[in-house]
Amino acid sequence: MLDKAKSLPNFRGQTSPYMPDMGPEDFAPPEWRLVQPTSQAHTQQQIPLGSYYCDQTGEAAERLDMAILKVQRNRTYWVGGDLNFPACSSDDRVMPRPGGMYQGPCASCEANGKGCAPGYNLLCVRLNQQGTPEPSEMFLLRVNGTSVFPFRKLWSRIHLNHQDKPWSIMVALTSVMKTNERGTYWVMQPDIAQEFTFGTDLTLLQELADGLAGQLEEGRAAVETEAMQEHRNALVLPASTTE
């Protein structure tokens, strides 16, 4: 397992003659999303509500077995429904990223609490049927809206019982249906399946968390910053908020 970790792609200055000079800004992890009634995955592709869908691969799943490699606090503002990129985003909840609709700071921004809300970006890796992480299946998961509270409870358990190391546990991610005066929606439901018990598993997971997770995060940030700049230069759609 350790040899497998060492053979992973390296974005730390080493380049391949077949893809020369490629850096973090050229790479972005696939993104899995929870399918809601307003999601294009449901309205246009009939993906079942409450399941998880990856637009880049076309794969859907009722449950994601995964390890969380990195947790990043954020603020995110979406415009016009189910878009590929946010219209404005902050990586620290203090200042927005360059290229977005607003200049910040977040605390005094007019969108604060009006469509822009705190959440988390998670860099994760899927597990196979044997509970072993698959480095080729790293992905991004955004946690926003009503799904934030279940993850806050998960962070408390990780802090108290797992020394702030989210990658030391297996997480089974499902969803639950909720209803209020606005209608029916689905909420992410993360549950700790078990701890990883083999040192080799932890070696690989720590390697991913310390190395590639950070590099892929840089790539994702670069791609989204460019996309937000394009959005700002294009026609702005009427604002709407969805879970």
Contact between residue 14 and residue 218 where contact means Cβ atoms under 8 Å apart: no
pTM: 0.75
Which tokens go with 222? Answer: 């670069």
Give pLDDT, residue 100.
82
43-57, 59-73, 74-88, 100-114 — which is least confidently predicted? 74-88
Q: Give the C-alpha separation, 121 to 116, whole Å.
A: 14
Please give the residue that has the higher pLDDT: either 237 or 21. 21
How many CA atoms does the CB half-sphere of 105 hold within 13 Å?
Answer: 5
Give pLDDT, residue 33.
94
Cis peptide bond upstream of 37, omega within 30: no
